[in-house]
Every structure is written in structure tokens, then in C-alpha cells.
Amino acid sequence: MGFWDVVTGRSKPKQAKLDALFAVPGAAVTLQAALGLVPTGDGAVCYRAAAGAGFAGTQQEILDLLKASDGAPRVTTSQDSFGFTWLEVDHDPIDPANPDLTGLCTDLHAVNTTLELHGYGPGLLCSLIPFTGADGRKVGLVYLYKQGTFYPFAPTGDDQRDNLLEISVRDAAAGELPLEKDLSRWLALWGAPGL
């Protein structure tokens, strides 16, 4: 940060480490072995949509990109009660016990990268990859775009979360993912897709 940035109170935004998303498939193996959690094959990117034709064109470019290949995932967008847009990517697994997590992470990376390259990086909030257990427990690995770190979020009902499961996921994935150490950043994502 330069002198002028200090005087004006401006700083450059921290560069996201989007390649950390590609560590999720390895972490998924660990989570399945340690806790019996398997990925659902779904994922989502959460961002604040900008007004105007430029952003609408960028969002359409992302949708077209994701839908272009054979075996393309279902892609939908929705808006939550806080005004954030969730772009959901749903890969139908050939084998439900072994979804294409690498393909999903590639798609989520492409969404984040495209928004960033078109100047909409400051509006990115997080990416979410849900997991489920045989006992019905659900937990999402949440990638915080601005921090470059992950944290687990395990909702159990209306405004309730399973802190013990979240800590267990954190401990199991500690060697696999860059984890958010500041627990105040472990935000609740009530109503997030897939959870």
C-alpha cells in the first residue's frame, strides 16, 4: 500500500486464491473417510449482482459457458432475502456415491474467475459445496472469496447450526484446505441452496 492509499483510506482488495477450490476433491475423500460425509454434486456461487446491461451480459456469458458442453450441469439463479444472487450448478452424478467433484469445482472456479475478470470481483461473497451424511446431516464447505479460506456451515433447522459437526469438519479438513481461523467469519448461510 502506498502513501496516497494511506492518506485517502483506500486499499487494494486482497486477491482471491481461487485455485484453493481445486483442493476440495482431496478434502472430500478425507471427509468421507473420517465423518461419512459425501458431496452432493451440487454447488453455488453467491454474489451481489450489479445493475446494468454490462453485468447482465456477463451473467449470461457465464450461463452460456456452463451450458455449452455435453453433459452440462443444470444451472439456475435465484435471489435470497438479503439481495444476494445464488448461481447454482447441479451435476447429476452417474454414481451418487461418487459425484464429479472436480468438474463441479472447475465450474465454480469459472464462475468466480469470469466475474472477477469483468470487474465484478468486489461483489463476490462465497462459493458453497454441500455434503451430506447417511444419517441426513448436511454441511457445506464455504469458500470466502475475499479471504481465500474455507469454513464449514452445518444448519440443523431454522436459525440453528450444528457447531460440533462444524468443528469436526474443520479438524478433519485441516491438512487439506486453507481454513478460516477467525470464527467470527463463519457466517450462517440460512437458506443456502443444497443445505
Chain segment 92-112, per-residue pLDDT in tens: 766 666 678 998 999 999 999
Chain segment 128-177, per-residue pLDDT in tens: 999 999 899 999 999 999 999 999 999 998 889 999 999 999 999 999 99
Average pLDDT of the chain is 88
Is residue 2 very low, low, confident or very high in pLDDT (cuts 50, 70, 90)? Answer: low
Residue type for position 62? I
pTM (whole model) above 0.75: yes
Is residue 4 very low, low, confident or very high in pLDDT (cuts 50, 70, 90)? Answer: low
Give the Cα separation of 135 and 50 in Å (integer). Answer: 40
pLDDT of residue 108: 94
Helices 24-35/163-173 angle, 10° precision = 120
Extract the C-alpha cell encoding 87. 448461481
